[in-house]
Structure 1
Amino acid sequence: MRKVFRQHCLVMLFTVFFTVKRPCQLERSSFKQKCYSLSPNQRTFQLGVGIFGTLTNPKSTMYEMKIGAITFQVALGDIAKESADVIVNSTRRPFNLKLGVSKAILEGAGQAVEDECAVLAKQFHRDFIVTQGGYLMCKIIIHVLGDNDVRKTVSSVLEECEQRKHTSVCLPAIGTGNAGKNPTKVADDIINAIVDFTQKYSTPSLNKVKVVIFLTELLNVFYDNMKKREITISPTFQSTSPQNAYNIPEYWADMNQQLFCVIQLQPGQSEYESVKHRFSQTCLSYRIEKIERIQNEFLWQTYQIKKKHMDMKNGHTNNEKILFHGTDADSVPHVNQHGFNRSYAGKNAVAHGKGTYFAVDAKYSADDTYSRPDSNGRKHIYVVRVLTGVYTLGHKGLITPPSKNPYNPTDLFDSVTDNIQHPKLFVVFFDNQAYPEYLITFRC
């Protein structure tokens, strides 16, 4: 077995290790500043340009690597003896394959699961079905078709786990058995599906994905794939470094190595008046109490990486819009620190997909449905930079934007809307596709 050396790694998105400490208040002549401190030994961010952590070898028959928020493991073993919230069975229609791994899973789960498979296979025409766990050490079994596209299949499994709030899933090397798929391609597809998932969810419920295989040769294939994604970088990055490729805006106040700051703007400032004007174009009847600028360096950096990627992909820089998002007072601290996490998706609307919704007009977001008044009658709207890019019509049930090209299912639209010619709202499906720039607190 190959020996794995620990090393720092390059990541596609940022990985940040920090603990939020006490808030502090500072008064300045032109604004009020609320900052959130790090302890002195925590003021260095561990950042990179990717999502892959260090490849380790905790056991002689296991490799492990962090992929974003997911702990990814590959190990030799018997999947029917694994313990996880979800176990995945790779089979074929009508979901009753009694060969290889599928045989072990069905026999281990018991006759009740086989009977349930038989019933569900007749009722549903999806590419997977979900049954009870039976005698296996899991809550549910997701039965997938091994002949199907592996990346799409694993993406569907991860989405199903997330929707059900499960924390761990165990799957075989889908398609490498009776389906005869190329093991190298399967390993690549499984890992890429996890990457896709981590780019949608910054803080998912699902936090562990384990691939259990029965051949040492397959273990080596996964090792090679994981190892090639691990690239050494400088172990630390100072947030004030001049080498920062995505500089924070010049108009931001000095953050003094804080995690993030909330800056209260003052009436009469050009920045305040500009935000007020944008809001008042459709919300003249409301009275603004305060406007705050959100200075969150981590969110800004990840947003700029996404913007650069979209600009390159689309061949132009006209991918950003300034939109509005209404919310309640309880959600404000979370958005300020973590952005528009998709765990909030569908909180108020799902008609155009299970993403985060942003309105063209402030009036739409000011509705009590979206910006629910607190006990004192105050309401809250964010002015948001949103990467809408190339968009299309949305519809209920979407969990990602549709594919642009039926022959290339991985080439997706960037966002969806309610009306292509005259959009009133946009929906995005990736956490780093929107930056909450200003928070307006107002009342009727």
Structure 2
Amino acid sequence: MKTIQKPVEDLTSDQLIFLKKCENSQQKSLGTGTKQNILDGLYRQFKKEHVKGSLAFRDSEVSLVVGHNTHWQTANRILKESIKEFDISLADHQKNTPFSKVVANLKKAFRDEVVHLKSERDSRKVIVFCFNFQHKHMRMEVNKTIEQMGDMNDIEKFYPLSKEKAEHVANHCKIDKSKSVKLVNENTKTGLLVTFEQEDIDTVDMKFEDLEKEIKKIEKQFTGYSLYDYLSGEGKFIKKATEHETKCSIFLDLVEQKSFRALITVKCGDILQEKCDAIVNSTGKSLDFSGQVSMALKKRFGADVLGGLLKNSTWVIGNQLCLCDTSGRLPWKYIFNIAIPTSKSEFTSAILCLLTEAERLGIQSLALPTIGAGNMGLDPTVVASYMKDAFARFDAQKKLLHDIRVVVYQSSQLSVFQDIIPKQDINKSIGMNVKIYGSSVASLDEAMKKFQESCDKIIKSFVIKTTRPDFYGFEKSEIEKFCRVNDVLLEWKWTKNVEECHIQGLSDNVKKVKDMIDKLLEGDYPANWSSMPDGQNVKRVELSEISHEYLDVKRKFEESQPSYSKLIKIERVQNKLLYSQFKDRRNAKQAEFAGQNKVITRQLFHGTSFDIVDNICDRGFDRNFSGKNGTAYGSGVYFAVKSQYSVGYCRGPTKYMFFSEVITGDYIYGNSSYKAPPEKSQSTRYDSCEDNQSSPNIFVVFSDSSVYPSYIITFQ
């Protein structure tokens, strides 16, 4: 394609000088952080008027290269209009300074900028030539530079560096020949503004080139509940002390937070579209899948699939709440089927049990419908108030279940259910990234070691276990309250079928909480006991149906789906003498198995008849009466792992079952001839016998003080 190249016309000599400076020049001070040819800005203006052209430079001549003559005329006009000039007067404090020195300093300060500076000695003005797209920025920079020049023997120069490197250089590095070093930290500009004498510019430039190569960095991730919050607040002195000792700079970045409260959200949508660990399906009392979610499930996955899941379901609350493990056949790990409750206490109890079971299973995200407020016809306002009460009772210190969603199908009900969200607590840091800058590998290693040692003293962690496979519900409730009040992270974990209490936080807080937990677990009597006057040795306390203690015992009773129609009551047995004897024996076993990961006690079931209940509550289990129901594994007292088994030994229309804490310790397969556990060494015997060593269903104990009758479950 033919092109036309003609010299530019109607430009002044200063404008031509400016254009010559643009040849092969790159602009880097417009705040973009990147470099580009300064002429690209001019060419963009050509393009706006549909001109394809460029500048050509040869000796002292500047030409325009375009497609045809009409384009050349347009391009020449745009070029003339694009070159702007403005004049700058000196600041008042520079009136007596030789004008030549001012101009020299300005030229040095802007030697990296694509501008032309012309001086007028008589008027003591500096005229600046630049493109129109530079004009605003350059005018501000020149004015600012003149204002800040001060002593005309000095010059200021900006050296771009990352924020962290700039801070390290400013605080810990010596810049030879510099008079001052100022940190610049703006949105588009970070680095150092250095003041020095004109003749030292090369020395300072070389120093900064060397620093870029010399400065080294290491980084590491630290974990610790509220560690970042502490080090960023009242613990700042720890970081500063390490920096002072090692001449390094430490920077902390938050990388992970956890909410101190389960996060509850209310949203409008289809619950089947929720990507979460488990969903809740509301249905009729007979699990007839008649609710709105039920029908949607059947339509999407088929009645046969749901029927198959139901066959493998586990009852959490008989005829009220059952759990289906989908085994990967559906988008969720579990489906909770909840029969529509008929009273507030039943509703609250069911939701609490649902949330507690979800937490126990390690479910992190759970979606619930507006239970019964759809085609079941319940009043949405009433349902919302019941759910709000249940959520408020659910412990704020739960850690696994952190995403609870209430999905409203009918948008008209959204405002009603938004009120159920309890007040949210603040987030706390649990992880941070530590970056350390220094001049040598040795100094970096020293700084990281000192900082790590300081953090290890700030944050403490403990793992607490009981003698049983898991904690009592009341113990967990108290421990969670201790941690919440004292700002300590709590996580419940299962390791080899044993529940562990993991606590972490600031050292003083954790020590305080650990002492409280030790006192709770090792007190004279359990912390959940009701008060007993002096002289009273035995007391039976009926539990509230919505208490954590009641729900915990009820859940364990119903785990194996025992055959019953009505749960009448659950009572706590408080017997000072029996508990003291049991505790002494349990403590002795703890000492014997110290350092071993041994389950010492278990919560087991024992069915009996009405006439025996008072005797057991008053005097404990008596092995002298063993044999009434057989002695296949020895002449001791028999206990079952599953309540379903013990139901068969309950006599009468109203049935009674003890839920007891039993010292099983080291056990061995039983034999009908045993009057006591066999010897395992010359000086010790086994603690109990069982029916299946790999997976026991029955335990037999031969010492009356090896059992404490914790609860009586009365049912029909």
| Shorter-chain TM-score range | 0.3 to 0.5
Q: Report which of the two has the higher share of helix.
A: 2
- Structure number with the bigger relative contact order (C-alpha 8 A, sep ≥ 6) is 1
TM-score (norm 2): 0.28
